[in-house]
Amino acid sequence: MEISDTHLTNPEWPGHARLHEAWQLLENAAFSLLAFILVWKGIAPRIGIVIGLILSSSFLVAWLTGPLYGGSMAHSDGTEFAIGGISVVVVVVAIIAGLLLLGWRAHSQHIEVSA
């Protein structure tokens, strides 16, 4: 959704803002892939879960503190991807964070039982 004219290719955004958007997208994709590999391959599942929690919780904190710096989930044209007034993106990220926390708990219990 961010590789569109509301974000990365938005002609109203200065080039520097688009650079930061591309950087953020690439960085988040790389860290998400690393977290997935760490968990999936069992290399370091807890580190993978922590990386996922950092990515999802930082988004939620940015959303919650948006009023402090003028941040909003609304696009430049005023539209927002929401159902019933609730941002779909915020709900999805909150669900991901919740699943990561459940994964952490399940992994912690597995270690305690195995030890």
- 64 by Cβ neighbours in 10 Å (0-12 / 13-18 / 19+) ranks as exposed
For the chain of 115 residues, list the mean pLDDT of each consecutive stretch of 10.
83 90 94 93 91 91 90 80 82 86 78 54
* Confidence (pLDDT) at 103: 81
Task: Enumerate the domain spans of the chain.
Answer: 15-114
- Whether the CB-CB separation of 33 and 102 falls below 8 Å is answered with no
Q: What is the CA radius of gyration of the chain?
A: 17
The reported pLDDT for the residue numbered 114 is 52
